[in-house]
Amino acid sequence: MSIEKYTRSFLKEVEERVEEGHWVKMCMQCGVCAGSCPLGAHWEHTPQKIFMMIRAGKREEVLSSDSMWMCTSCYQCIVRCPRKLPITHIMHGLAYLAKREGLVPKNQPTAQFGQLFWDNLVKTGRVNELKLSLGMYFKDGFSQGIKNAMAMQSVGLGMMKAKRLNPMEIMGGHGIKDKSGFHAMLKKARELEDSRRKLA
């Protein structure tokens, strides 16, 4: 996808390529959402500011920002916004566009975790929590992984004792029966979305 088409209007690009992006123009900059994020102190740009930057055409600055990845999906902003913008989903959509455009900051942990989560669920149709956590601990290589896993050992052992983490999951674990239909469905869904949003 050539980006030239959008250089003049990042707003237009967001409207076409981002989940619920057509809502951005409705923001009246009241600032209510800006005070709503639980991890607010860690947002370089608040949602309010991100909407302003989109209108100002600051494509690189928005998409390469760490901010959207601070969203905990708490939906506080959505219920408070006087204009009813689906802010949570726009944050998710911007983060996803950044990923597809290769603009996510390097080693962004939530971006990495989100991808691991998705890959994990796609494989068998259900999330395997053990593989998911091991994947996260070992994402920075073997020795860091051992360190991370050791640091969280007491948590893991407590979970195992309470039978809420099954070490046998490493062998396979839960999954759906119709994996081939499931995979074909997701492949089709991705193709359709990529072509509609010009993501491919």
Task: Give the interface with other proteins as residue ranges (CB under 8 A).
Answer: 19, 38-39, 42, 70, 72-76, 78-79, 88, 92-93, 95-96, 99-100, 109-115, 117-119, 121-122, 125-127, 129, 133, 136, 152, 154-155, 158-159, 161-166, 168-169, 173-174, 176-178, 181-182, 184-190, 192-193, 196, 199
Q: Label residue 16 exposed, middle or buried (CB < 10 Å: 0-12, 13-18, 19+).
A: middle
Residue 173 and residue 130 in contact, taking contact as beta carbons nearer than 8 Å: yes
Residue 86 and residue 23 in contact, taking contact as beta carbons nearer than 8 Å: yes
DSSP per-residue codes, 170-197: GG-----S-HHHHHHHHHHHHHHHHHHH
Choose from other proteins, ligand SF4, none: what does 22 bind? Cβ within 5-8 Å by kind.
Answer: none
Beta-carbon contacts of residue 36 (< 8 Å; ≥ 6 apart):
74, 76, 77, 80
Q: Nearer Cβ to ligand SF4, position 20 or 140? A: 20
Taking each helix axis as running N to C, give the angle between helix 109-124 and helix 179-197, from 0 to 180 degrees, rounded to the nearest 10.
Answer: 130
Binding mask 35-64 for ligand SF4 (x = CB under 6 A): -xxx--------xx--x-------------
Choose from ligand SF4, other proteins, none: what does 158 bind? Cβ within 5-8 Å by kind.
Answer: other proteins
Q: How far is the CB of 141 from other proteins (least distance, A)?
A: 17
Q: Nearer Cβ to ligand SF4, position 9 or 124? A: 124
Tokens of 62: 């928005």
105 backbone dihedrals φ, ψ, rounded to 5°: -55, 145
Q: Which of residues 106-165 bind ligand SF4 (CB under 6 A)?
A: 127
Does residue number 87 form part of the binding site for ligand SF4 (CB under 6 A)?
yes
Q: Nearer Cβ to other proteins, position 7 or 64? A: 64
Q: Nearer Cβ to other proteins, position 56 or 170? A: 170
- How far apart are the C-alpha atoms of 90 and 27, rounded to whole Å? 12
Tokens of 28: 């009246």
| Residues binding ligand SF4 (CB under 6 A) | 27-33, 36-38, 47-48, 51, 71-77, 81-83, 85, 87-88, 91, 127
